Amino acid sequence: MPDQSISRERRLVCRAALWLILLPGLAGAAALPDAEARELLAKRLHSLQHYQAEFEQTVVAADGELVEQSAGRFWLTRPNRFRWEYVTPWPRLILADGERIWLFDEELEQVTVRDFDGLLEQTPAALLAGRVDALDGYAISGERDSDRLQVVLVPHNTHSDFSQIELEFIAGVLAEMRLRDSFGQQTEIRFSQVETAAAEEAGIFEFSVPAGVDVIDESAG
């Protein structure tokens, strides 16, 4: 039987990657050959060295019921460092420091620590974190118009937590991430106030365990 706690935490990370509400094709967009879609996506991901943005996230169940609406801020510096900070509806933090993933639920007063590699395999977060070689695990298609690129990734692994991932770039910048998990749950994340400069706040990818919280350390180290 699969480890349910691992599955839940993978879904939490990937929602923040994280992380499809299927939309109709772009008006006037041209379908791309699969090889070209893959090449363009690889270039976009390779150029995504530094990224900061506000985000709004909507999660909808397979039956169409609204599960959650949330918002916060996202920071990314490749390779392997990112910070998803939820502000509403309650504070949560998902932080990758390059070696480990820290999942902090302020309301539960609980921190879970996992190894970076084991948690991100076969997830959208692996792509954003710098694992361009992870593209080999997907069938990739896409379409584009003058300034917009939309790419759909379907994992070859039928046991993946996600059945489909969609990334949308506007003028070369990541604007939306949409995904559907293996339970039919759909997530859409829209980014705004995007900055791609290299400057970052000191300590933004460091985590200090707050006093009094429970720590579940499941990392190898």
Q: Where are the domains of the chain?
A: 4-198
pTM over 0.85: no
Helix, strand, or coil here: 35?
helix
**Which own/partner pairs from 212-216 qualify as long-range (CB within 8 Å, at least 24 positions apart)?**
212/109, 213/104, 213/109, 213/110, 213/111, 214/109, 214/110, 214/111, 215/110, 215/111, 215/113, 216/110, 216/111, 216/112, 216/113
The residue-averaged pLDDT of 100-127 equals 82
pLDDT tens by residue, 118-129: 666 556 777 787
Res 118: pLDDT: 61
The residue-averaged pLDDT of 102-123 equals 82
- Count helices and strands in the chain by DSSP H and E runs: 4, 13
pLDDT tens by residue, 60-75: 999 999 999 999 999 9
* Distance of alpha carbon 150 from alpha carbon 41, whole angstroms: 9
Q: How confident is the model at residue 149 (pLDDT cuts 50, 70, 90)?
A: very high
The residue-averaged pLDDT of 154-166 equals 87
User: Are 86 and 95 a contacting pair, CB within 8 Å?
Assistant: no
88 vs 126, residue with greater confidence = 88
> How many percent of the chain have pLDDT more than 90?
54
- Does the structural domain 4-198 have CATH classification 3.40.605.10? no
